Structure 1
Amino acid sequence: MTLFVVSIILSAAMLHAVWNAIVKTAADRTTMLGLVALGHVIPGAAMVVLLPLPAPESMPYVLASTLIHFGYFYMLGRAYAHGDLSVVYPIARGIVPALVALWAMIFAGEVLPLQAWGGIALIALGIQLSSWQALRSGVESGVGRAALGYAVGTGFCISAYSLTDGLGVRLSGNTLSYWAWGAFLHLFVAGFIGLRKRNTLAALRPRTWIIGIGGGLVSMTAYGLVLYAKNFAPLGAVSALRETSVIFAALIGFVFLKEGNWIRRLGAAVLMAGGVALIGTSL
């Protein structure tokens, strides 16, 4: 894997951490997620008009990814109903790299070398270490099997749409077109949340609309970079590097939100950096 591809994926991870921090600090996270989805739809609509259609054989993957995203939002919402963000998020993201690598091996025939699997393991360990105190506090405060189950379900959905989009974008013949249609079809997510939160949306201040839609633009850019990288690198490796967003989010929380223990998070960052190096030098 070239340094250029690694830098693209790490940039996407950082951008993901930024929009995730926007959602995390929102008073109403569901409404903010709806605005983030709308931030995908607006540029996506313009792009589908201007760009050619992706190859027909890739369109079932776009539709499948949209359906999986519905499951993802449902699982995530239920997980947050039973557990804190700081408990649910590291579990959901931590299991994704190994799952995507496994699915890619089964469905796409991508077999990663042992060194890359070691890098995935280090990244997953770093994700858990970065939020260890939150995870332990969650267990001690009575977060039960429901939160754990929904968090694992969320991670399963993330791995499913990661595989689906990784296969679909390779068939599309045009990464930008595939990206545009995936963004535009967030219309269904934005519309569903908009209907449920229509009274709340009517009372929102313009600043909240701007922040939410801006977060969507950041999110869309982040995922576009990941889709681009999936054309050139194994899906399991891309997913593992992508999940370094957790440590970026942890650093944002420590520096700007005054959360967490810097020694533990520095240790997690070292583990994840080691994982990135192992993956980058093995492919």
Structure 2
Amino acid sequence: MSPSLDFVHGAVLVSALFHAAWNASIKGSPDKPLSAVGITGVAMLLAAIGLPWLPQPAPASWPFLLASLILQVAYMRLVARIYRVTDLSVSYPVMRGTAPLLVALVSALFFHDAPGPGAMAGVATICAGILCIGLPGRAVRAPGGMTLALLNAVVIASYTLVDGAGARLSQAPASYTLWIFLLQGIVMIGLTVPSRAGDLARHVKSHWGAVTLGGCGTVISYGIVLWAMTLAPIAIIAALRETSILFGILISWLFLRERLTPARIAGACVLVLGVIMLRLAP
């Protein structure tokens, strides 16, 4: 028996919390590129442990898996660079808020997977709320920070669409997800070890708790999302996932000492309104 949409939506909201937490762990790290590599390394180990016990993805999904690998590596490297020059509470909403609109438009035009008018209005409202939180910010310490955030939004939208289709074709979304993390970890560590092997080992030893929690968080978060995309329209799940910004601004305020401005509070209220609209949409 398929789970109810309420259960699916609730699971995606839980994944949003995990997503905000692992992004905050990178932002709070003294060496953001090494933290990103450490997190993907932990995710790789979890994937290696879990994959022997799961059915393998169908062959039709492997081209999507390889395309996702390229996009996921680009995403992680951009995240580490962006958080060096912007606040989490500024760049995170811009990255995550622009992507669902792109996903919704491409889904409607090319995948015939468009939400109904009510759900589409909810998606647009969520994106408006997220952008309201992020765009008024001025905590950007380099002129290219917002450009990089918008570029990463395109990468996020691309891997969301690729993995949404790939997970459906795989007939095994859990193993599809773990293969992503296994391959991503191999590539990320392979790119880092030749030049910074000692630094990476010392970083992981000194920050093993944050790295471990981040690795577990990213696997749980993305695993839930890909599972949900096999049961509901990709655009709706992509928009719901970005409610992680609510958790992100709270984490940035409570733990990273970033300002919680009136504009960000107003944007959070608009975002919640969008979630309610999605829930009530036929």
TM-score, normalised on structure 1? 0.90
Which residue, 51, 66, 70 being the options, matches 1:67?
A: 70
CA RMSD of aligned residues (A): 2.1
1:33 maps to a residue whose letter is A
Aligned to 1:218: 217
Which region of structure 1 is more displaced relative to structure 2, 227-236 or 123-132?
123-132
Per-residue deviation, residues 163-200 of structure 1 (Å, max 9, x unmatched):
01100111111122112211211221233234343131
The offset of 1:112, in angstroms, is 1.9
Give 1:128-167 correspondences, 5 Å limit: 128-133=131-136, 135-138=137-140, 143-144=142-143, 146-167=144-165
2:278 maps to a residue whose letter is I
Whole-Å Cα distance in 2 between the matches of residues 203 and 80 of structure 1?
A: 21
Aligned to 1:40: 43
Aligned to 2:97: 94
Which region of structure 1 is more displaced relative to structure 2, 242-251 or 183-192?
183-192
Whole-Å Cα distance in 2 between the matches of residues 55 and 18 of structure 1?
A: 32
Aligned to 2:57: 54
The offset of 1:29, in angstroms, is 0.7
Whole-Å Cα distance in 1 between the matches of residues 74 and 127 of structure 2?
A: 23
Per-residue deviation, residues 231-260 of structure 1 (Å, max 9, x unmatched):
111111111110111121101222334432
Secondary structure of the 1:52 match is: coil
Q: Please tell me whether the aligned partners of residues 36 and 80 of structure 2 are also in contact (alpha carbons under 8 angstroms).
A: no
Aligned to 1:27: 30
Whole-Å Cα distance in 2 between the matches of residues 107 and 41 of structure 1?
A: 32
Secondary structure of the 1:16 match is: helix
Aligned to 2:231: 232
Distance 1:77 1:19, change over 3 A: closer
Q: Please tell me whether the aligned partners of residues 30 and 193 of structure 1 are also in contact (alpha carbons under 8 angstroms).
A: no
Give 1:174-189 correspondences, 5 Å limit: 174-186=172-184, 187-189=186-188
Aligned to 1:209: 208
Any gaps of 5 or more consecutive residues in structure 1?
none
The offset of 1:98, in angstroms, is 0.3
The offset of 1:162, in angstroms, is 0.4
Aligned to 2:249: 250
Whole-Å Cα distance in 2 between the matches of residues 20 and 276 of structure 1?
A: 22
The offset of 1:207, in angstroms, is 4.3
The offset of 1:43, in angstroms, is 1.1
Q: Please tell me whether the aligned partners of residues 130 and 247 of structure 1 are also in contact (alpha carbons under 8 angstroms).
A: no
Whole-Å Cα distance in 2 between the matches of residues 77 and 24 of structure 1?
A: 8
Which residue, 121, 133, 157 being the options, matches 2:124?
A: 121
> How many pairs were matched up?
278
Per-residue deviation, residues 124-171 of structure 1 (Å, max 9, x unmatched):
2221232355x2353xx6x43x33322211000000000011001111
1:177 maps to a residue whose letter is S
Q: What fraction of aligned residue pairs are identical, expressed as a percent?
A: 32
Aligned to 2:275: 276
Distance 1:258 1:191, change over 3 A: same
Q: Please tell me whether the aligned partners of residues 20 and 244 of structure 2 are also in contact (alpha carbons under 8 angstroms).
A: yes
TM-score, normalised on structure 2? 0.90
2:196 maps to a residue whose letter is K
Q: Please tell me whether the aligned partners of residues 38 and 204 of structure 2 are also in contact (alpha carbons under 8 angstroms).
A: no
2:21 maps to a residue whose letter is V
Any gaps of 5 or more consecutive residues in structure 2?
none
Whole-Å Cα distance in 2 between the matches of residues 148 and 269 of structure 1?
A: 20
The offset of 1:214, in angstroms, is 2.4
